[in-house]
Amino acid sequence: MTRAFHTFSLRTRLVWGPGVLAELGKETARLGQRAMLILSKTAAQKGLSEQIQANLESGGLTYTLMVATGEPTLTSLAQGLSLAREFGAQVVVAAGGGSVMDLGKAVAGLYHEPGAVLDYFYGKPISKKGIPLVTVPTVFGSGAEVTPNAVLSDQDKQVKQSIRHPDFAAATTMIDPLLSLDLPASITAFAGLDGLCQAIEALTSRGANPLTDVLAFDAAVRFAQALPGAVANGHDLAARESLAIASTMGGIALAAARLGAVHGLAHPIGIRYHQPHGKVCAVLLPVIMRYNLPAAQEKYAQLYRRLNSSATTAGSDCDQALALIEFVETILRQLGIPLHLRELGLPPDELESVIAEGMPSGSMQANPRPVVPGELLQHLTQYW
């Protein structure tokens, strides 16, 4: 992927701070009066459902509710679309983790598109602007609150990929760190590690530029510094606030700069072996960082110096880049993440087909070191 120039657009109004959910009704009413509300099962169980519905009512809105479970599929998208259309929704509100926000993007973005969702999943161009979307992240890391792509799965064919359109980006996101307090440690860890991985991949991707670098560096530092504390203590509001803004920073950076081979491989591995996205990304991250070392050494060293001020003058870029990879591995160990690909349930004789399936993805094409399938296979085999 060669880019002679860069573009950067942020279509989302960002509204954030502890307690900002109280403004949801007012913010949503700016966009429409009839809302399709999509909630994750976890968000619904936390009692958030009542809080959100009361806020929408106080804004004078009427709404219909869908509770979504698991990662979004073409089936759940078709169900969401028919519910939204039957209700005559003017705006979609999606509250939950990346999966629910991605489902919300696809429902809002395809609202006026005729025909089967399958066609759009496999590349039919989107020609009509959908209805506006409000995202309410309750888990921080994916950046889905601001990104313009919806990751979906075709369960029949076992294909997981994005539908992407600039108009899919949320009109407004309400970022309230209070919503992520007391989440189970594993959910906090997987989401935050996805965020750390995305920040590092956006920082080193071929589409990286000075504007995305500012966001990606800061996001990576925040994830690395705040995540262990947030996982250890569900009440640590300062850590949650840092993760919340890091997630949005990372999402803005990756939307403009794209990602890398971790995300190129994560989708086929995730759907084949039924592993959570954040865990797959975490296991792959140090392995792919070592693969990318020849092309990304300088950025890795810069990030290491930002994380460790005493390293400003000590050691070469190569030493500091390796020290960053070891630092990432230390965080993974601390959070109980395995360091071997076999622990994702990936048989060694399927590595080749996983790489082949990931090769066409935009993430793979944005990887800093051009991906040669045979070289990547040899590299991954060492870490299997």
- Residue ranges binding Fe ion (CB under 5 A): 194
Task: Give residue 87's identity as a one-letter amino acid code.
Answer: F
Nearer to Fe ion, 194 or 241 (CB): 194
Report in angstroms how near the CB of residue 53 gets to Fe ion at its nearest. Answer: 30
Report in angstroms how near the CB of residue 178 gets to Fe ion at its nearest. Answer: 24
Which residues have a Cβ under 8 Å from the Cβ of 313 and sit 6 or more positions away?
Answer: none
**What is the Cα gyration radius of the chain?**
20
Report in angstroms how near the CB of residue 371 gets to Fe ion at its nearest. Answer: 18
Nearer to Fe ion, 80 or 278 (CB): 278
* Residue for token pair 């108009």: 167
Report in angstroms how near the CB of residue 194 gets to Fe ion at its nearest. Answer: 4
Nearer to Fe ion, 243 or 301 (CB): 243
What's the CA gap between 249 and 228, in Å, rounded? Answer: 19
Strand, coil or helix: 68? strand
Beta strand 34-40 with 149-154: parallel, antiparallel or unpaired?
A: unpaired
Report in angstroms how near the CB of residue 281 gets to Fe ion at its nearest. Answer: 5
Report in angstroms how near the CB of residue 197 gets to Fe ion at its nearest. Answer: 6
The H or E element containing residue 14 is strand 13-16
Nearer to Fe ion, 195 or 368 (CB): 195
What's the CA gap between 293 and 211, in Å, rounded? Answer: 23
Nearer to Fe ion, 80 or 250 (CB): 250
Kindly list the strands in the beta sheet with 13-16, ordered across the sheet, starting from the edge strand earlier in the chain: 13-16, 172-175, 133-137, 91-96, 34-40, 62-68
User: Closest CB to Fe ion belongs to which residue?
Assistant: 194
Nearer to Fe ion, 35 or 261 (CB): 261
